[in-house]
């Protein structure tokens, strides 16, 4: 009996050593990362002696071009909607200051919220923290091999499970509602949306790239342009409560140039 007990203890210790060794092989993504939410183009308007010039500014490029980073998948600037949905997308985009839920304190959801500002990587779960004007959401992502919940409550951030594919942390997200956009310019979706996020290290930097699968409205999956995040020493701050009070004061339909 004593030998059997000792054998069981030895086996348990060996299993723990193997598990620890496997976990140690994964890069540690923990840390605070630069703010890299998707932002629409802006414009700088100048008027000199009655001459007006308009200079467009690509705010999304301020973190540098990540397209050449190792591991980044080929992407397109915008999704490909099925022909029967193009008119709706255009109408939503043309009247964005009236139709964009985010402009009225709505949650951006996944993947529109972008990469997390802070990551805490634990043994059986990884936690993403965000800063956003609609609130400061967080996501607890199990990494213990469990499947998606069978009947999750539909939500803006969905039901997430994580796994490692080599040195890449892959987050599979389902269980969405249909009241968010997955990007700027009227990118609506249904509750059939499925998002796959890929996160990995590139030297000291972090790379985030997402793919949107939406069989109801997209002609093909959309691989989003990757984003490069640099380590940050800025602490996360609590966002003020979002209160919509200026919707009635809008002068045109494009809210980006009124921010």
pLDDT tens for the chain, 259 residues long, are 566 655 555 555 554 544 444 455 899 999 999 876 555 556 667 778 888 887 766 555 456 678 889 999 999 999 999 999 999 999 999 999 889 999 889 999 999 999 999 999 999 999 999 998 888 999 999 999 999 999 999 999 999 999 999 999 999 999 999 999 999 899 999 999 999 999 999 999 999 999 999 999 999 999 999 999 999 998 888 888 888 877 777 777 765 554 4
pLDDT digits (tens, 9 = 90+) for 79-118: 999 999 999 999 999 999 889 999 889 999 999 999 999 9
- The set of residues, in sequence order, having a beta carbon less than 8 Å from that of 125 and lying 6+ positions away, is 140, 141, 142, 143, 144, 162
Question: Any idea where the domains of the chain sit in the sequence?
Answer: 31-39+53-258
pLDDT value, residue 247: 72
Q: What share of the chain is helix, strand, coil (3-state, %, to 5)?
A: 20, 30, 50
The structure tokens 């999750």 sit at 152
Helix (H) or strand (E) holding 166: none
Q: Where are the alpha helices (DSSP H) in 95-198?
A: 96-99
Cα–Cα distance, 240 to 243 (Å, whole number): 9
Tell me the pTM: 0.81
Q: Do the beta carbons of residue 220 and residue 82 sit within 8 Å?
A: no
Q: Do the beta carbons of residue 207 and residue 72 sit within 8 Å?
A: yes
Distances, alpha carbon 90 to alpha carbons 81, 87, 93, 182, 184, in Å: 11, 5, 5, 15, 11
* Opening angle at CA 140, ends 32 and 112, nearest 5: 70
pLDDT value, residue 82: 98
pLDDT digits (tens, 9 = 90+) for 182-215: 998 999 999 999 999 999 999 999 999 999 999 9
């Amino acid at each position: 009996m004593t030998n059997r007990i000792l054998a069981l203890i030895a086996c348990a210790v060996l299993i723990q050593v193997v598990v620890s060794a496997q976990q140690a092989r994964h890069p540690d993504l923990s840390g605070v990362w630069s703010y890299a939410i998707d932002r629409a183009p802006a414009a700088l308007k100048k008027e000199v002696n009655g001459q007006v010039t308009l200079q467009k500014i690509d705010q999304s490029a301020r973190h540098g071009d990540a397209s050449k980073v190792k591991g980044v998948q080929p992407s397109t600037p915008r999704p490909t909607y099925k022909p029967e949905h193009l008119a709706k997308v255009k109408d939503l985009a043309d009247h964005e200051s009236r139709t964009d839920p985010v402009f009225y304190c709505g949650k951006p959801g996944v993947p529109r919220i972008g990469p997390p500002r802070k990551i805490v990587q634990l043994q059986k779960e990884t936690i993403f923290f965000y800063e956003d004007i609609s609130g400061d959401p967080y996501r607890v992502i199990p990494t213990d091999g469990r499947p998606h919940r069978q009947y999750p409550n539909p939500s803006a951030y969905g039901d997430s499970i994580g796994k490692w594919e080599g040195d890449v942390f892959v987050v599979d997200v389902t269980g969405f509602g249909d009241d968010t956009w997955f990007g700027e310019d009227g990118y609506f979706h249904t509750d059939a949306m499925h998002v796959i996020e890929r996160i990995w290290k590139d030297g000291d930097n972090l790379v985030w790239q997402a793919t949107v699968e939406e069989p109801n409205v997209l002609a093909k999956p959309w691989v989003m342009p990757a984003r490069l995040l640099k380590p940050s020493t800025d602490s996360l701050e609590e966002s003020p409560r979002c209160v919509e009070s200026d919707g009635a004061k809008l002068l045109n339909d494009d809210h980006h140039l009124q921010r």
